[in-house]
Amino acid sequence: MAQHNFDIPVTFRHRIRFTKDAFSPANAIVKDLFESGRSCRVVVYMESEISRLFPTLKDELTTYLEAIEEVTLTEILEMPGGEVCKISKTQIMDGISPIERNKIDRHSYVFCIGGGAFLDVVGLAAATAHRGVRLVRFPTTTLSQDDSGVGVKNGINGFGKKNFIGSFAVPYAVVNDFRFLYTQPEDVCRGGLVEAVKVALVKDGEFFEWMEEHTDALRALEPEVLEEAVERSAVLHAKHIALGGDPFETGSSRPLDYGHWSAHKLEQLTDFALSHAEAVSVGVALDTLYASKQGWLTAEECERVLAVLEGLLLPIWHESVDLRDDQGRRRVINGLEEFREHLGGRLTVLMLKSLGEGFDLHELDEDCLDECLEELKKRSAAALGV
Ligand SMILES: NC(=O)c1ccc[n+]([C@@H]2O[C@H](COP(=O)([O-])OP(=O)(O)OC[C@H]3O[C@@H](n4cnc5c(N)ncnc54)[C@H](O)[C@@H]3O)[C@@H](O)[C@H]2O)c1
Ligand SMILES: [Zn+2]
């Protein structure tokens, strides 16, 4: 009875670029992504909303790609995005068939321009057609530029579960074009910065201090600071994925999911009326206050975090936190059990031991969580003058 175990090492290059007006003729960022001397085809998926907001984009893109000798642009498709695009059962084939129709092989490219949901759908198509073709993401929301766009996952919702059907796949490249940030509604643009606050808290205390110093400018969406925040956040996320030792999430430790156990539950409880950004803000406030009540953070450190969230006009409370189950337990707290199931075994929640550093915790005190939620409720009501 022989047994053979082989370790299969595979290295991926994660190419992340930051720019403005990626398709202006003088900008070489996209051009330089192509292998020189090798002819290739490109199919472009553009979210309909982006096409509407940037009516000249298709022409700019066509002119840009046609000027590159090795590249043949085969088609620019328009498809709807937003969370609904992750629910439709026809999405997989709608995503894959243009790859077949345009004869995109493993040395050709799928360009995808849109928000995080659209990137997820097209990413799944690109990861499965031909068992994976090259995907170049152009994220267009703050949240997708500062967080999910540099991630190595894709997925659609299925069987009533978010991201149930999907895969881990490192994109060929991610081009964060800051041009796209400015057509978002202001609250959405600002809201995406919650992932920058989150990653600063778990990875980089200096970045958190920088966000504290620049809270007013960030709230006002001043371009220079907004773009710096997006870039620093994206790099911290990518660095963790590349160097953190668990890019495909086989273990239970998920530092980038700080504040997310309750956020996921709140999104679900509100049927996604509460946006991911708002839900994460409440989740970060809760776990930060919990860390201070348990003595890992000082009350002053906790206050600084809440002040940044409030300074960015992000919520620290939502009425859905008061929803209770038959036993009178806050339903959001049931999110802990669901998070444990999602991890597939042991509950692991990241807690802060300082502003910029976290540690894994395996048990939370429900009474203390309740106390924190009551306190956040009072603070939020006081701020609103209720
Ligand atoms: N793959 C991952 O690692 C990962 C990680 C985190 C989140 N996600 C997913 O990302 C999705 C959320 O992404 P999102 O926050 O970008 O939201 P989104 O993609 O749903 O976009 C939100 C809205 O903004 C519009 N929009 C997009 N770009 C715009 C622009 N430049 N100006 C104006 N409007 C614009 C969209 O049409 C949509 O209506 C969720 O489905 C989430 O599951 C994926
Ligand atoms: Zn998130």
The domain segmentation of the chain, as residue ranges, is 15-184, 189-384
Nearest protein CA to atom 23 of ligand 1, as residue: 82
Question: Do 190 and 204 form a contact (C-beta atoms < 8 A)?
Answer: no
Amino acid found at 157? N
- 253: its two tokens: 């430790």
Quickly tell me which residue has 């910029």 as its tokens: 356
Compute, in angstroms, the gap from residue 136 CA to the centroid of ligand 2. Answer: 21
pLDDT 10s digits, 210-266: 999 999 999 999 999 999 999 999 999 999 999 999 999 888 888 999 999 999 999
Closest CA to 195 of 271, 86, 280: 280
Q: Residue 88: what are its φ and ψ, rounded to 5°?
A: -60, 135
The CB of 53 under 6 Å from ligand 1? The reply is yes
CATH of 189-384, one of 3.20.20.450, 1.20.1090.10, 3.40.50.720, 2.40.50.70: 1.20.1090.10
If you search the block for the tokens 């643009």, which residue do you land on? 189
- Report the sign of the C-alpha dihedral through residues 22, 26, 32, 37, in that order: positive
Q: What are φ and ψ of residue 9, in 5° steps?
A: -80, 135
Q: How far is the CA of 169 from the centre of ligand 1 (A)?
A: 18
Answer whether 48 contacts ligand 1 (Cβ < 6 A): no
Q: For residue 112, which amino acid is it?
A: C
Q: Which atom of ligand 1 is least distant from the CA of 83?
A: 20
Q: What's the 28 CA to ligand 1 centre distance in angstroms?
A: 26
**Does the domain spanning 15-184 belong to CATH 3.30.870.10?**
no
**Of 14, 16, 47, 49, best ligand 1 pocket probe by most atoms within 8 Å of the beta carbon:** 49
Cα angle value 133/129/51 (rounded, 5°)? 75
Question: Cα separation of 238 and 222, whole Å?
Answer: 24
118 ligand 1 Cβ < 6 A: yes
Q: Is 108 left (phi over 0), alpha (psi -120 to 50) or beta?
A: beta
For residue 19, the CA-to-ligand 1 centroid distance in Å is 19
Q: Do domains 15-184 and 189-384 have the same CATH topology?
A: no
The CA angle 24-226-187, to the nearest 5 degrees, is 105
The CA distances from residue 383 to 191, 194, 305, 376, 378, in Å, are: 19, 19, 16, 10, 9
Q: How far apart are CA 155 and CA 119, in angstroms?
A: 9
Residue 115 CA, ligand 1 centroid: distance in Å: 4
Q: Is 187 in the pocket of ligand 1 (CB under 6 A)?
A: no
pLDDT digits (tens, 9 = 90+) for 4-21: 999 999 999 999 999 999
Residue 82 CB–ligand 1 contact under 6 Å = yes
User: Per residue of the chain (386 residues), what is the pLDDT tens digit?
Assistant: 899 999 999 999 999 999 999 999 999 999 999 998 899 999 999 999 999 999 999 999 999 999 999 999 999 999 999 988 988 778 888 899 999 999 999 999 999 999 999 999 999 999 999 999 999 999 999 999 999 999 999 999 888 788 889 999 999 999 999 999 999 999 999 999 999 999 999 999 999 999 999 999 999 999 999 999 999 999 999 999 999 999 998 888 889 999 999 999 999 999 889 999 999 999 999 999 999 999 999 999 999 999 999 999 999 999 999 999 999 999 999 988 888 887 877 899 999 999 999 999 999 999 999 999 999 999 999 987 76
Q: CA angle, 382 as apex, 378 and 386 as ends, to 5°?
A: 100
What pLDDT was estimated at residue 339?
85
Q: β-strands 40-47, 71-79: how paired?
A: parallel
Instruction: Give the number of whichever ligand sits closest to the CA of residue 48.
Output: 1
Report how far ligand 2's centroid is from the alpha carbon of 280 (Å). 6
> Within 10 A of 369 (CB to CB), how many other CB atoms are there?
20
Q: Please tell me the pTM assigned to this model.
A: 0.96
Mutate which of 121, 143, 226 to test ligand 1's pocket (most atoms within 8 Å of Cβ)?
143
